């Protein structure tokens, strides 16, 4: 965006760089990654905040609370934030109100919030006399959450796909045994994720072979207080005595083989983040349909040579059609050791710069965000 350089000061650019970097510390999922920086009138970065995932403080509130902890007076400061402040009361309070209550007189944000209930923070702030400008680092801020924007625009849950595999990409041995391919540390990490998501999804095959509980548990096997919906996809019935049914009413059977339909059913039930855990047929069908936003692979230093491959046919017959995933630095990094395993974290192949520019959402954002009328208000 050429508009950035003329409309914003070097201190505001630097603050947005800090906010974008801070945002990466959060986890991907139902909510976007967001970072925020409070700037003094002289351009000094006073406090930084970021969003730690659904149900936790938004980045703006986090930055304001960080400033309070340090005894910093926020009256007359500028908030630089990667996404339009929200205007709704979800699991946390509206950021627009928090910004006004903190006496912040100017807000600079990168990209408009497309999520209907949350949108409108800029208008509220302007009507309260806060100067609001948008469009700084628009492309980078859009790219930061391109998969989340896609999911919001498609009215489907954000999809994380999880694979626990051997070095030779097997998820079960020839005799069907698969517990456990991963290290205890990987299992703990997986259960931590289960505690954050809205739903976990497997195929009928996994239920019939493994009879998994699909709950979120600690190392002692105790249930976490927050449990995902347990979804099983496939046309066969789920046995009455299957462990996945549980007794808490959080089980759902999705009688379809169409991944988009399965996501639609879950979205209709309020699910905004689903983790697809297997088996091979289900992993392949979601990947083949380009319906995966985030990939988490736990790779054990183990060889089987035979057994169930992680993936079947993805509909690719020539190298030029290969899916090229990107390493994802968000939420703890792209590559980590977990016990004896490697944890690989990747983002979807969608959203190269070309496709971002071509996306309907991006096109709808650019004119609004670059428009001169966005430089308004002021005390």
Ligand X SMILES: NC(=O)c1ccc[n+]([C@@H]2O[C@H](COP(=O)([O-])OP(=O)(O)OC[C@H]3O[C@@H](n4cnc5c(N)ncnc54)[C@H](OP(=O)(O)O)[C@@H]3O)[C@@H](O)[C@H]2O)c1
Residues interacting with ligand X, by CB under 6 A?
163-164, 171-172, 176, 178, 181, 202-206, 209-210, 233-236, 257, 277-282, 285, 308
Q: Which of 352, 374, 356, 347 is nearest to 84 (CA)?
A: 374
- The helix (H) or strand (E) run that includes residue 253 is strand 251-254
Contact 244, 232 (CB under 8 A): yes
Rounded to a whole number of angstroms, the minimum distance from the CB of residue 333 to ligand X is: 21
319: left (phi over 0), alpha (psi -120 to 50) or beta: alpha
Among 60, 84, 277, 294, which one carries the catalytic annotation?
60
Q: How many CB atoms lie within 10 A of CB 136?
A: 26
Contacts of 42 (CB under 8 A, 6+ apart): none
Contact 131, 122 (CB under 8 A): no
Rounded to a whole number of angstroms, the minimum distance from the CB of residue 269 to ligand X is: 18
Rounded to a whole number of angstroms, the minimum distance from the CB of residue 305 to ligand X is: 16
Rounded to a whole number of angstroms, the minimum distance from the CB of residue 165 to ligand X is: 6
- Write out the DSSP string of 183-234: -HHHHHHHHHHHTTSSEEEEEHHHHHHH------B-TTSPBPSS--EEEEES
Rounded to a whole number of angstroms, the minimum distance from the CB of residue 256 to ligand X is: 7
Task: Fill in the DSSP letter of residue 92.
Answer: S
Is 60 an active-site residue?
Answer: yes
Rounded to a whole number of angstroms, the minimum distance from the CB of residue 271 to ligand X is: 17
How many Å apart are CA 86 and CA 51, to the nearest integer?
A: 13
Residue that the structure tokens 């992993």 belong to: 283
How many Å apart are CA 326 and CA 146, to the nearest integer?
A: 12
Pairing of strands 35-39, 45-50: antiparallel
Contacts of 354 (CB under 8 A, 6+ apart): none
Instruction: Give the residue numbers annotated as catalytic, written as ranges.
Output: 60
């Amino acid at each position: 965006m050429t508009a950035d350089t003329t409309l914003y000061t070097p201190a505001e650019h630097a603050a947005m760089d800090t906010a974008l970097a801070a945002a990466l510390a959060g986890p991907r999922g139902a909510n976007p990654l967001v970072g925020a920086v409070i700037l003094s009138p002289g351009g000094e970065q006073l406090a930084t905040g970021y969003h730690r995932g659904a149900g936790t403080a938004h980045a703006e509130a986090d930055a304001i609370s960080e400033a309070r902890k340090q005894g910093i007076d926020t009256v007359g400061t500028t908030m630089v934030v990667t996404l339009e402040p929200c205007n709704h009361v979800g699991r946390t309070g509206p950021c627009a109100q928090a910004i006004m209550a903190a006496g912040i007189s100017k807000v600079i944000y990168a990209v408009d919030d497309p999520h209907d209930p949350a949108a409108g923070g800029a208008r509220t702030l302007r009507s309260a006399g806060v100067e609001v400008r948008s469009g700084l680092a628009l492309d980078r801020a859009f790219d930061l959450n391109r998969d989340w924007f896609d999911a919001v625009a498609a009215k489907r849950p954000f999809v994380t796909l999880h694979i626990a595999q051997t070095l030779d990409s097997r998820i079960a041995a020839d005799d069907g045994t698969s517990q456990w391919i991963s290290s205890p540390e990987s299992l703990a990490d997986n259960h931590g994720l289960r505690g954050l998501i809205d739903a976990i999804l497997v195929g009928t095959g996994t239920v019939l072979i493994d009879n998994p509980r699909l709950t979120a548990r600690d190392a002692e096997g105790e249930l976490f207080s927050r449990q995902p919906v347990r979804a099983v996809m496939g046309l066969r019935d789920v046995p009455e005595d299957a462990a996945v049914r549980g007794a808490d009413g959080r089980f759902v059977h999705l009688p379809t083989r169409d991944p988009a339909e399965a996501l639609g059913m879950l979205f209709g039930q309020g699910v905004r983040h689903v983790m697809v855990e297997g088996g091979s047929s289900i992993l392949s069908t979601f990947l083949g349909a380009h319906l995966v936003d985030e990939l988490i692979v736990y790779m054990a230093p183990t060889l089987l040579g035979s057994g169930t491959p992680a993936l079947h046919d993805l509909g690719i017959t020539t190298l030029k059609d290969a899916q090229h995933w990107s390493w994802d630095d968000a939420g703890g990094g792209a590559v980590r050791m977990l016990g004896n395993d490697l944890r690989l974290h990747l983002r979807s192949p969608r959203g190269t710069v070309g496709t971002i520019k071509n996306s309907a959402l991006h096109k709808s954002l650019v004119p609004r965000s670059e428009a001169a009328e966005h430089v308004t208000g002021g005390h």
